[in-house]
Structure 1
Amino acid sequence: MADEDKSTSVGTVFLSFLAGAAVGAGLGLLLAPKSGSEMRENIMDLTDDALDKIKGFTKEAQSKIMDTYEETKDLISEKKTIITSAIEAGKEAMDREKEKYKQV
Structure 2
Amino acid sequence: MSEECRSSGVGGILLAFIAGAAVGGGLALLAAPRSGEETRHRLTDLADETREKLHEMTEEAEAHVREAIEEGREALMEKREMVKAAVEAGKKAMEEERGKHAKST
- Write out the 4+ residue segments of structure 1 that deviate beyond 6 Å after TM superposition: none
- Is the 8 Å Cα contact of residues 26 and 46 (structure 2) preserved in structure 1? no
CA RMSD of aligned residues (A): 1.4
Residue correspondence of structure 1 range 1-104 to structure 2 within 5 A: 1-104=1-104
In structure 2, stretches of 5+ residues that fail to align are none
TM-score where L is the length of structure 2? 0.89
Note the C-alpha offset of 1:30: 1.6
Q: Percent identity?
A: 41
Number of aligned positions between the proteins = 104
In structure 1, stretches of 5+ residues that fail to align are none
Q: Name the structure, 1 or 2, with higher relative contact order (CA <8 Å, separation 6+).
A: 2
Report Cα offsets for 1:59-94 as digits up to 9, x if no partner.
Answer: 011111111111111121121111101110111101
